A and B are shown apart, each in its own frame.
Chain A
Amino acid sequence: MCLAVPARIISLDASTEMAVVNLSGIHKEVSTVLIDDAAIGDYVLIHVGYALHKLSEEEAYRTLAMFDELAQMNEAEETLDEIV
């Protein structure tokens, strides 16, 4: 029920606060009433036809980098294990 998915804004109508987003190739109309300063190209979280929040790409990459770092740490340990 609370599922929401990230999608990219491809067009915007400021007067109606409606946007068209690209959701894995499907174009969908959503309301942007709940977010400020929506812009074309933004990733937003879509839930029941509304953009709930902007997705911070910077934070997304930071989280992914954290996973990566962790993976590398593991790898380094594994190599170390092999050497020892």
Chain B
Amino acid sequence: MKFVDEFRDGAIARKLAKTIAETALPDRQYRLMEFCGGHTHAIFRFGVQDLMPENVGFIHGPGCPVCVLPKGRIDNAIALVQQHDVILCTYADLIRVPASAQMSLLKAKADGGDIRMVYSTQDALHIARAHPQRQVVFFAIGFETTTPPTAIAIRQARAEGLNNFSVFCNHVLTPPAMRTILQAEGGASAHIDGILGPSHVSTIIGSQAYAFCAETFHVPLVIAGFEPLDVMQSTLMLIRQLNAGTAIIENEYTRVVTRAGNRKAQQLMAEVFELRPTFEWRGLGMLAQSALKIRHEFADLDAECRFNMPAITTADVKGCLCPAILRGLNKPTDCKLFGTVCTPENPMGACMVSSEGACAAYWSYGRFRRETTKQEVAA
């Protein structure tokens, strides 16, 4: 594929690896957090870690919307189907995520619930148009990348007077989560020397959104594309900054990320959504001003206003280390359930469900190389 394959060239990867090995100072550690699950996936799939010297290690961050969605929200969605008889439209990523009491959307569907996987918010609107007698709810999740399409659907539903359509909004924001991780002191999160910044979130919010990393925390951040050469080049840029003692925001992914981001998308989001005072993140707890809710001007299209949806707090499966993994404190292989009780076919925690979750990435690509991965973040 054009503009993809060129960024996967193995020969260049080896050359880049050589430069990285020569640039990394042998007497220090480089603990780099890739915030996005997309990067976690790429690092494992293309074996990027294996091309790094021992003292350069990746810490897998919380940037996987499926992984950080608390169970209670999935319980809420299941209740919509079972108690309110709605047609629930969801992105496929969510379908197998474990909810409470051994439930999942997939099981609710098998039990007769009308749950439909959609590719786009446009599909959810089609379903609502085709079933005027039924209530159709779109289960919206995702970071800033996925939020503008939800905003468009809400505006469109309003314009068309599609009053059997509503949105269960679970959109979350990247910068507050990043701030939480950088702020956490005293072992609540792993120590981080530098950050590989989000790819596609940044196409929307722009590179300027991360200024606080450098200004407040003196941590360098390089916005990196999702292809392996992008990840390697960005890693090199971070190592150079750390060697020089600088902390600035750099952009390796200039082909789609600008300083200001996509203004049109930002305006749309601002028109339809406002900040929630607080929102629960799996693994990170309650984070202030970290998520979006539908503005009250659009309250008639907000499933949380239309249906009675109690706040549900639930405990995660005993032994599941997802919360610590999402903070970079543990590796999936530290979890006793990993690969025994918990596998992608039978996930116990969310990190095993999405292919972007750290546990699933380890399971698919990394479980035979535990030894090398263990040394990588010797903190």
Residues of A within 8 A of B (CB): 1-6, 8, 23-24, 31, 33-36, 43, 45, 47-50, 52-57, 59-60, 62-64, 66-68, 70-71, 73-75
Contact = CB atoms under 8 A, between A and B. Distances in A.
Contacts of A67: 9, 12, 15-16, 229, 233
A2 B122 contact: no
Interface in B175-204: 198-201, 203-204
Nearest to A44: B256
A19 to B, nearest CB: 13
Contact of A52 (B1, B12, B38, B204): B204
Contacts of A1: 37-38, 64-66, 91, 93, 141-143, 145-146, 354, 356
A3 B226 contact: yes
A2 B19 contact: no
Interface in B8-25: 9, 11-12, 15-16, 18-19
B288 to A, nearest CB: 23
Given A1-B65, A1-B356, A55-B255, A35 B262 contact: yes
A52 B148 contact: yes
Given A49-B122, A52-B200, A55-B3, A74 B15 contact: yes
B120 A2 contact: no
B120 A66 contact: no
Contacts of A35: 262, 264
30 contacts: A1-B64, A1-B66, A1-B91, A1-B143, A1-B354, A1-B356, A2-B37, A2-B38, A2-B200, A3-B226, A6-B2, A24-B1, A34-B152, A48-B91, A48-B119, A49-B119, A49-B120, A49-B121, A52-B200, A52-B265, A53-B256, A60-B6, A63-B230, A63-B233, A63-B252, A63-B254, A67-B16, A70-B12, A70-B16, A73-B19
A63 B65 contact: no
B254 A59 contact: yes
Size class of the contact patch on chain B: 35 or more
Contact of B120 (A48, A54, A57): A48
Interface in B200-236: 200-201, 203-204, 226, 229-230, 233
Contacts of A70: 12, 15-16, 19
Interface of B: 1-4, 6-7, 9, 11-12, 15-16, 18-19, 36-38, 63-66, 91, 93, 119-123, 141-143, 145-146, 148-149, 152, 198-201, 203-204, 226, 229-230, 233, 252, 254-257, 262, 264-265, 268, 354, 356
Contacts of B230: 63
Nearest to A54: B256
Nearest to B94: A1
Nearest to A71: B15
B239 to A, nearest CB: 13
- Most A C-beta atoms less than 10 A away, residue of B2, B12, B257: B2
Contacts of B268: 34
Given A2-B36, A4-B145, A6-B2, A56 B255 contact: yes
B12 A2 contact: no
Nearest to A50: B149
Given A70-B12, A70-B16, 8 more contacts: A2-B200, A6-B1, A47-B145, A49-B120, A55-B3, A57-B255, A60-B3, A63-B7
Nearest to B120: A49
